[in-house]
Each structure stands twice: as C-alpha cells, then as structure tokens.
Chain A
Amino acid sequence: MSVKDRMSGNEAVAYAIKQVNPDVMPAFPITPSTEIPQLVSSYIANNEMDTEFIPVESEHSSMSATIGAEAAGARSLTATSSCGLALMWEELLLAASNRMPCVLALVNRTLSGPININCDHSDAMGARDTGWIQIFAESNQEAYDNFIQAYPIAEDPRVHLPVMICQDGFITSHAVMNIELNEDNEVKEFVGEYKPEEFLLNNNKPIAIGPYAISSYVMEARKAQEEAMENSKEVIIEVAKRYKERFGRGFELFEEYRLDDADYIMVIMGSAAGTAKQAVDDLREKGMKVGVLKIRVFRPFPAEELAKALSNAKGIAIMERTESYNGHGGPLCAELRAALYENKVFTNVVCYTYGLGGRDFTVDHVYEVFEEVKDVTENGKKVTQHRYINLRTNKA
C-alpha cells in the first residue's frame, strides 16, 4: 500500500533515508542539499530513526568518514552538492576502488564559477569517471524511488560499488509536489539488513582495506572494478523489477517516452525530461512524431541499449546540462555519439547545451529544438553543434 503525500525532493530523500535507517551518516551542509542532513538530524533527534549522524568539518571529511564507516561494516551515506562533491573528489575514487557499497544523495548544483547556487549537472558530470554508479531523477518521486533502490544495487555481491542518487537542485529538491510513499516496513523488507561478509571491525577475521598496490596489480584491480560496473547494469534492472513488483512503479536504465514511431527524439536527463515529455505530447497533437529518451542511469553508460533504442530515429537532439570546455561538447554528447557510431547507427545528431546555472528550460525550448532537428534532417539545414539554448547573443 502506498501513501499519497506531497513533499519536496529533499524531503522525499530524507524520508527515504529515515525508512532505510542506515547505520552512519556523516555530512556537511551545502545548498541546495542542506535540508537532507538537516531533516535526517531532526528524525534522529525525535527518535524516529537511530542512524549515527556525524557532523564533520568538510565534505572531504564527510566522504572519508562515510568510507571509514562502510569499511568498518556499517551501512553508510552522505549528501552533498556542487563544490562539496568537488571537495570529495579524492575520496570518491577511493570509495569505488575499495569497493564500498555506500550511497551519496547528490542534489545537482553547478560548479563555480561564476559562483551560483542553481542547477546544472556539472558536479555529477565532473565525478562521472570516479567509479560511482550514477542514477538521475526526473522528480521528487523518482529521487525517492531511486534512493530506496540504491543499497540493494550497491550491496549486491556482483557489484559492491558506491551509488550516487542525483536530483536537480531547487527544481526538484525545493519543489513541493505529489508523491507516493511506501510503507516503512515494506521499505525495510525491500532493502533488507546489511550483513557484510568482511568488515574491519570483525576481530575474528582481520582484513586490510586499501593497501598500496605495486604496478603489477593496479591494472588487474582496475579491470575487476570496471567489470563490476558493467555487471551493475543487470543488477540495476533486477532491482528495478523487484521494486516494480513490490511498489508498482517501474524503472529501466532509461525511459522511452513515445519512441515507438518517433522520427525525432530528444535525449535528456533529470527534471527537464518532464518538461520535454509535456512538449512531446503537445507536438504529437499537432501530428509531429517525436519522443523523449530520458537517461536514468548514466554510470554505467548503457551504450549499446541506447544505440538500439535510437536506431530508427531520423534525427536526435542530445541535451547537455554541463559545459566541458573542449570545443567538442559535453560528456553525454560525446559518449552517446560514440555509442551510435560503434553500433553503426548513422543518423542526424544535434547536440545542445541548456540550463546552466539554473537557466530555465521550457516547453517552448523543446519545440524549438525539435523544429531545428527536423529542419536539419528534412532540409539539410546547417547547424552549430553545442548551441546554447536560451542564450543572449549578438549572433544571428
């Protein structure tokens, strides 16, 4: 039985944390994720959960303490945004390479500069190669659902990798919307007790975690870690299936919205996917065959699956919510185009940059993008790749 409620995205994730009741949460506040540790602290103070909360002096410390607690044998997590994630950089890599199944609730905010508190994906994208599984949410509901699936994915013996649950700062984190919550006991049952096979505080079976590796071991360790990331794909799908059976809401690696006969497809992540879906419905009513492919799992990158889902499109718009400063677009564009090429899907692809530093992205922008991709495909219109949407410019 689900309970209908209304909550912001931050409240939803904090509520999920309360229901999962992990063992340890070290955290340091940063906008727009501050409410998550704040609400969890309140739940603890009110005896609604018994997680050990550690107020630390920086995000470098919060991730270090999360790894330390996880290695000790405790189910651990933290939350952060933007510069906080950047300050964790070194530890993010260690969490993954030490195969720690901990969880990070990331509330996406742009990285400086110029300094700004609003949403884009530059924080998560900066951490895309740190070995973390990255799952993005369109709404408060998905942030909640994804969080509950995080530990079952991370702790699966085929995976043993950390999971980053991402939602868009302010856009979903601070927007109150309807939500369906699961019953406490059902969440507890779904996530289960954490019983690590090996942990540092087991004095009967001493182990050492994170030893120095000479060159003759490093590549082998990396390959094994990479393989775990590949394996996580099937685990993510299995967990989502189990989640759907239990709670009714289904998930895949990505969502295909009205793709069946779509000529033009927009590939997008996060909250803007909802706006794109609305625009697709509007355009469909006018007879335009369009669809949205919403990427939920960015790491591992579902390259082959994406290429297959896009193989019949006449034109594809790839929407990037970060800037890579390389003259060749951002990570989603680069990786998706490589995936298409590798799988011999040769079609018109236009990459766009949108929504940096909280710049609004509306249904009108979606219409504009679809019109342009159609023009490129049907009339061979020349376009500038990586064009910024909704940018003030002197250029025509």
Chain B
Amino acid sequence: MRTDISKINEATPYEELTEGLITFAGGTARDFHTGEWRTDTPVFDKEACKQCLLCAPACPDGCIPVKDSKREDFDYDHCKGCGICAKVCPFNAIKMVEGSEPK
C-alpha cells in the first residue's frame, strides 16, 4: 500500500488515493513551496544584524536558518511574509518590502 505520494494530486481517482489518506513520507512540508503565497517580503540587512537570534525562533514557518550560532538569509521558498521577524528585531535589521521578491 506504500505509494509515491508526489504522484497524488487533485486529479487522482479515489481508487488510487492512499488508505485513510495516509501520507507515506516524512518532512513533506519541505516540498511544498509556501513562499509562493507571499505578498510582502522580509529583507535581511546583514550589516545591521547583531546576531542576537531573536528572529529565528519567532518565525512560525522556520524560515530563518541558523548555522554555527549565526543566522543566514531567509528561506524564501517557504517564507510567507508574515512580518513577525521584522517586528521582533531590535536593530531594524529586517525590513518588509512590498511584493513577493526581496528587493
């Protein structure tokens, strides 16, 4: 009954859906690019950032990657542009710009 769920979509007939709509894979949210939903976009000002890391845990979608205790640029594939990170940043290192692209 294990199925490649990437082949299932809204045109799939009921006979080919998984039993009980079980999702046969882990971490499938990664493949789903919610960044497309964005209407406003956060822009990271590396110079102004003090690496206080308040922004990273505040992001509801985990779109601020942290490596070696330092944050990196946004994961725009999944950032929905909610703006929470810009609100929590004490150093104005994150600015929200209009549109789906970081300008």
What is A's interface to B at a CB cutoff of 8 Å? 97-99, 157, 160, 197-198, 205-211, 213, 216-217, 219-221, 223-225, 228
Contact = CB atoms under 8 A, between A and B. Distances in A.
Given A198-B2, A205-B2, A223-B14, A217 B22 contact: no
| Chain A CB within 10 Å, residue with most, of B20, B24, B26 | B20
Given A160-B19, A197-B1, A198-B1, A220 B25 contact: no
A209 B13 contact: no
B21 A213 contact: yes
B15 interface: yes
B14 A224 contact: yes
Interface residues of B, number: 18
B20 A98 contact: yes
A199 to B, nearest CB: 10
A205 B14 CA distance: 23
5 contacts: A99-B20, A198-B22, A210-B20, A219-B14, A225-B20
B90 to A, nearest CB: 36
Contact of A99 (B10, B15, B19, B23): B19
B13 to A, nearest CB: 7
Nearest to B26: A206
A228 B26 CA distance: 26
Contacts of A97: 20
Contacts of B23: 207-209, 211
B20 A209 contact: yes
A200 B13 CA distance: 26
A125 B19 CA distance: 26
Interface string B62-87: 00000000000000000000000000
A6 to B, nearest CB: 42
A210 B25 CA distance: 13
Contacts of B15: 224
A207 B1 contact: no
Given A206-B26, A216-B10, A221 B21 contact: yes
Contacts of B21: 210-211, 213, 217, 221
B17 interface: yes
Contacts of A223: 14
Interface string B4-34: 0000001011110101111111111000000
Given A197-B2, A198-B22, 9 more contacts: A98-B22, A197-B1, A217-B10, A220-B17, A221-B17, A221-B21, A224-B14, A224-B19, A225-B20
A213 B17 CA distance: 12
A209 B17 contact: no
A353 to B, nearest CB: 37
Nearest to A228: B19
B40 to A, nearest CB: 25
A224 B20 CA distance: 8
Contacts of B28: 208
